[in-house]
Structure 1
C-alpha cells in the first residue's frame, strides 16, 4: 500500500512494488497531502480490465517470454467479458469469486486455473502499489468442470505394442518422431527443433542435444526453463534411424506437419488399437516407465528437463497399471505376513 510522509514543504507518496522477483519502491512528491492521496484514489477508479491491460503492457512485457506474454493478452480478452464495469478499488474476493465460479460452469478447471493465475498476479501488483487496500488474491479459488485427462500415460503393454509397431514401420517419418518421443520424453517443441548436428555420439553414448524449442504460436525458440537445455541419451538403433532422415530446407530434422501432430498421433494409435493420448501423454509414459523400473527420480527429472524434482513428482510419475497392481500385491503380502 501507499505510504505518505511530509518532506519539508511537500508530501511524498511511496509504494512498494515487486519486479523480476525483487522488491523495489516507487516515490513521487506532491505539494499537498490531498494530491498525494488523490493519486491512489484515481487509480482505484480505474476499470479492472483497463488496469490489467496496462499492467501486462508495461510490466509483464519485460518479465516473461513472448509465448507467456501472448497468454496474458488472451486472458485479457476473457477479463474484458467477465469484468466489463468492475472498478479496481471496488473489487473484493466475494464479487470476483462469484464471477469466476460462473465462468467455471462452462469451462474446465484447468482453464479457470490458468486465468486465475494471471488475475492474481495483477491484483498483487495493484496491492503493492496501493491501488487496492486488501490483498485478497490468495482467497480466490479455481472451480470448473473436471474433464477426462487427455495426457494419459499408456500402460506398459500398450507402450510395448506401440514400440514394436513403430520399429516395423520406420519408413514413415512421423513414426520416427513418435519413436523418439517414447525413447526420450522430449517435449514436442524440442523434437521439432532438432537439427542434424544435435544428434551425435559423444564417445560413450548416443545423444540428442536439446538447445531450442519450436512453437506453433511464436517465432521464439527459447527453451521452457534453464534446465531444459540438456543432453538426452538414446539407444543406438534410434540414433541410426535418425541419421537416415534427410534434413528439411529449414535446417531442422523433422517436418513440422503444419503442427498437426495431435491429429496424426490420434490416427496412429487408433490404427494400432491403443487408447488415445497426446504427445505430452507419451512424455508422461516415458517418465512413468523409467520410474516403474526403479530409475532414480533425480535422473528422470534431469532427463525431462525439469527445474525441480517436485515438478516431476507432481505431474509425470503416475504409475503404470501393471506396476501398481504388483505393488498392491506386495503391500498385501507384507500386511498378511504380520
Structure 2
C-alpha cells in the first residue's frame, strides 16, 4: 500500500515498485493529505491491473525521444518526423529532470507559458501538439495514470502575420506586371502561384510532363513536393495529389520553359524564393507577403467571387473543408466592405 508522510506543510506519497528485480519507489509531494492519498491509491490500483507504472520514473525527455524513434518514425512522413526530432531539443531544455510520474497539467502549463513569453503562439502550438501525442501514448500504455494532455493550452506572443493575402487591387497590379515581364522565369513561378494556390514545394516539384491538356482543360498535375530540408518528395496529405486547372495563356508560357538538368520545370533558387518575392513586390510597390501569402491570396480571390468552398478546398489540396474554413476564409478587404454595406442595407430595410 502507498505510504503518506507529512513533511512540514506538505504531504509526500510513496508507492513501492519493482523494476529489473530491484525495489524502487515512486514519490510525489502534495499540499494536502487527501491529494496524496488519492494519488497513492490510484497508482496502487493501476499497479494491481498490471500496468507498467514503473515507467513513471523515466525522464520525460528520454521517453519522448524513444517515442519519436520507435513509434513516430514509421508512422509519419520524413518531413514530419524531422519536426518531431527538432522538438526533442526544445523538450530537453524545458524538461531536463521531469519524470513521467511527476508530470501534471499545472506543472507543464507553467513551463509552456514561460516558453510562450519569448515565442509565438504558433510555435508553442506546434510544440504542444507533439507533447500531447507523446503523453497520450504514455497514458494508453499505462506509463502515466492521468490523461491530462487535453488540459494543456498554447499561449504565446501574437506575432505580426507574414502570410498576408493581397488585396484585389494589389493582386491585379501584380498579375499585370508579371505578364509584362514573362522573360523572367521567377515571374512565371509567381504567376503560377497566384493562378493555382499551389504550395511552394508543389511548384518546385513540377516536371514538364505534369503540365498538359486533358482534352477539356489545361492542367498542372501535382504529384510531388520538394523540401529544403530533406530528399522526401511525398505530398503533404493524400488529397494533395490533384489536377489543378490553369488558363490557356499560362499553359503556353509554362510549355516554353526549358526543363532543368534535374528534370524539374523550375530552378529551385537555393530555396530563397521568399527573398526574391520580397524584392519583386518592393519593386512593384506592393505590400510584402510570402509564397504562402500568395496561396492565401488565390483562395481569398476565389471566395470573394463566390466560388463554393468545396471546390476551393479540393483545389488547395486540403484534407477536408474544415481545414479550408479554418485557414482560408479571410475575405479580401474589398469583399468585406461590400458585405458590410449589404448587411447594413438589409438591416435598414427592416
TM-score by length of 2: 0.85
Counterpart of 2:152 in structure 1 is: 140
In structure 2, C-alpha distance between the alignment counterparts of 1:82 and 1:312, rounded to whole Å: 33
Residues 175-226 of structure 1 show CA distances to partners (whole Å, capped at 9, x for unaligned) of 0000000000000000000000000111111110111111001111111111
Residues 34-59 of structure 1 show CA distances to partners (whole Å, capped at 9, x for unaligned) of 99889723211000000000000110
**Ranges in structure 2 where 5+ consecutive residues have no aligned partner:** 1-44
Tell me which of 210, 214, 225 is aligned to 1:213. Answer: 225
**Following superposition of structure 1 onto structure 2, how do residues 124-135 of structure 1 map, counting pairs within 5 Å?**
124-135=136-147
Taking a change above 3 Å as real, the CA distance of residues 206 and 40 of structure 1, as seen in their structure-2 partners, is same
1:194 maps to 2:206: yes
In structure 2, C-alpha distance between the alignment counterparts of 1:34 and 1:219, rounded to whole Å: 45
In structure 2, C-alpha distance between the alignment counterparts of 1:174 and 1:36, rounded to whole Å: 66
Counterpart of 2:317 in structure 1 is: 305
Counterpart of 1:106 in structure 2 is: 118
Counterpart of 1:4 in structure 2 is: none
What's the Cα RMSD here?
1.5
In structure 1, C-alpha distance between the alignment counterparts of 2:136 and 2:165, rounded to whole Å: 37
Tell me which of 236, 240, 244 is aligned to 1:224. Answer: 236
Tell me which of 283, 295, 310 is aligned to 1:271. Answer: 283
Residues 145-184 of structure 1 show CA distances to partners (whole Å, capped at 9, x for unaligned) of 0001111100000000000000000000000000000000
Residues 222-270 of structure 1 show CA distances to partners (whole Å, capped at 9, x for unaligned) of 1111111111110011001101110000000000000000111111111
Contact 2:224 2:235 in 1 (8 A): yes
Contact 2:46 2:53 in 1 (8 A): no
Consecutive aligned runs of 4 or more in structure 1 exceeding 2 Å deviation: 33-42
Counterpart of 1:85 in structure 2 is: 97
In structure 2, C-alpha distance between the alignment counterparts of 1:302 and 1:200, rounded to whole Å: 19
Greater Rg over alpha carbons, structure? 2
Contact 1:106 1:145 in 2 (8 A): yes
Tell me which of 324, 331, 338 is aligned to 2:343. Answer: 331
Counterpart of 2:184 in structure 1 is: 172
Contact 1:127 1:134 in 2 (8 A): yes
Taking a change above 3 Å as real, the CA distance of residues 205 and 35 of structure 1, as seen in their structure-2 partners, is closer
In structure 2, C-alpha distance between the alignment counterparts of 1:127 and 1:39, rounded to whole Å: 10
1:259 maps to 2:287: no
3-state secondary structure, aligned to 1:246 = coil
Contact 1:284 1:317 in 2 (8 A): no
